[in-house]
Amino acid sequence: MVNRKRVTSQDVADAAGVSRTTVSLVLNNVLDAQISEGTRQKVVSVARKLGYVPDAAARALVSGRAQIIGLVLIRRPYHIASDGFLTQILDGLLEDAHRSGLRLLFDIIEPEHQKEAYLNLVRSKHIDGIILSGPRFDDEALDALEKDGIPLVLIGQLPGSNICSVDIDNFNTSRQAVEHLICLGHSRIACITNASPAYTAAADRLAGYAQALKDAGLPYDEELVRFGDFNMGSGYKQMQSLFESAANFSAVFVASDEVAIGAKAAIFERKLNIPQDIALVGFDDLPIARYLEPPLTTISVPAIKIARQASSMLINTLRGEEVKERRVILEAPLTIRQSCGAHLRQN
């Protein structure tokens, strides 16, 4: 007895012997207008029996709200195929969105299409608001969006803008990670970034590395710096490049666990041991970090919490509430495991 044709509110109204208005009032739980309990019951039961579900497009058209939030990344598809950070963000976002009756549209935008792609997505009103993860310095469209009044929250930061954002302190956490290495006696410390320095997070993490060196009176040596590209393959390649450069180093700070996993494989391939021959510190504390061999010392980025914070800010904005704290920075402690030998020290 399943209906083939679409069921509209008119059908429900007819079957219940009321008007479309009443149906709408009942189903949307409008508080102002009072509906007799009998009518309400009837409408609800008829609607259920008919399997009525409001048409999203019609509702969006009249209400101006699509009930969808967008998560967008400035990346290429192959960057996300193994993105352990993304899944955590999705986890956090989805829970909150569901609780608010919102759906999640996921999209990636290739760096060169930034401008048009944003505008299409937002101006088409496909989505009510947007969470953008991993902003780049060259993101021209971002401020335009903000000015357009589109609810927008950044996961990450864009210096000089007033956009809502939630992030960790990339600079100081990186510095702390490298300081840890320095404390353990390393003075030749290589660095592989998480991504191109066009990404603000990558630039900050690299700066933190440089600062730690400087604070310790250690020279910054370009020979020891490589740029990762989000995924394990890039870590593997850049680590090889480090070995091939013949520069000597006893530790590597990799500003992304994902990239660090590739680097680690390249180290083992050389028959070198971690941490005995080379100490390794990552960044992110992906779920896998603690299960790696050896368990990875890394900066614990509270990804799910970040996602929750971002969605909460976005949802508040959507509700027209004022977000007082426009730039949230969450704690990201260094989690010491066994990839840099700290656990072996006897103090």
Partner DNA sequence: TTGTATGCGTTATCAT
Partner DNA sequence: ATGATAACGCATACAA
Query: Where does this chain touch DNA (CB under 7 A) — which range of 55-63, 132-140, 146-154, 295-303?
Result: 55-63
Place of tokens 């409001």: 54
Q: Which of residues 262-281 bind a second copy (CB under 8 A)?
A: 262, 264-265, 268
**Whole-number Å distance between alpha carbons of 188 and 242:** 12
Closest C-alpha to 104, from 321, 345, 315, 323: 315
Give the number of other CB atoms < 10 A from CB of residue 274.
Answer: 23
51 counts as binding a second copy under rule CB under 8 A: yes
- By CB under 8 A, is residue 185 in contact with a second copy? no
* Interface residue with a second copy, options 44, 104, 225, 329 (CB under 8 A): 104
Which part of the chain contacts a second copy (CB under 8 A), choosing from 1-9, 33-41, 174-182, 183-191? 1-9
**SS3 of residue 233 by DSSP:** helix
The vertex-188 CA angle with 207 and 339, nearest 5°, equals 85
Task: Give the whole-angstrom CA distance, residue 292 versus residue 285.
Answer: 11
Please state, in angstroms and as integers, the Cα–Cα distance from residue 145 to each residue in 118, 131, 150, 268, 282, following that order. Answer: 8, 12, 6, 46, 34
Q: Report which residue type is found at 13.
A: A
The one among 18, 66, 163, 210 contacting a second copy by CB under 8 A? 66
Residue 166 near residue 311, CB atoms below 8 Å:
no
Q: Is 185 in the site for DNA (CB under 7 A)?
A: no
Among 59, 76, 115, 327, binds DNA (CB under 7 A): 59
Bridge partners of residue 226, in order along the sequence: 192
Q: Which is nearer to DNA, 59 or 327 (CB)?
A: 59
Closer to DNA at the Cβ: 35 or 144? Answer: 35
Residue 162, burial from CB neighbour count under 10 angstroms (0-12, 13-18, 19+): exposed
Stretch that binds a second copy, among 11-19, 143-151, 160-168, 191-199 (CB under 8 A): 143-151
Q: How many CB atoms lie within 10 A of CB 101?
A: 7
Helix (H) or strand (E) holding 59: helix 56-63
29 lies in the site for DNA, by CB under 7 A: no
How many residues touch a second copy under the rule CB under 8 A: the total is: 65
Tokens 């290429």 -> residue? 76
**Token digits of residue 222:** 């370009």
Q: Which is nearer to a second copy, 304 or 318 (CB)?
A: 304
Q: State yes or no: residue 22 binds DNA (CB under 7 A).
A: yes
Task: Give least dist CB 24 to DNA, A.
Answer: 4
Contact yes or no for 134/74 (Cβ under 8 A): yes
HSE toward the beta carbon, residue 158, CA cutoff 13 A:
22
- Closer Cβ to DNA, 35 or 323, answer by number: 35
The reply to whether 87 sits near a second copy by the rule CB under 8 A is: yes
Q: Minimum distance between the CB of residue 66 and a second copy, rounded to whole angstroms? A: 6
* Partner touching 280 among a second copy, DNA, none, CB below 5 to 8 Å by kind: none
CA-CA distance, 158 to 15, in Å (whole number)? Answer: 55
25 binds, among DNA, a second copy, none (CB under 5 to 8 A by kind): DNA
Helical packing angle, 84-99 and 303-318, nearest 10°: 40
Site residues, a second copy (CB under 8 A): 2, 4, 6-7, 51, 53-58, 60-61, 66, 68, 77-78, 80-84, 86-88, 90-92, 94-95, 103-108, 119-121, 123-126, 144, 147-149, 231-233, 236, 261-262, 264-265, 268, 286-288, 290-293, 295, 304
Positions that interact with DNA (CB under 7 A): 6, 8-10, 17-22, 24-25, 27-28, 30, 33-36, 38-40, 52, 54-55, 58-59, 61-63
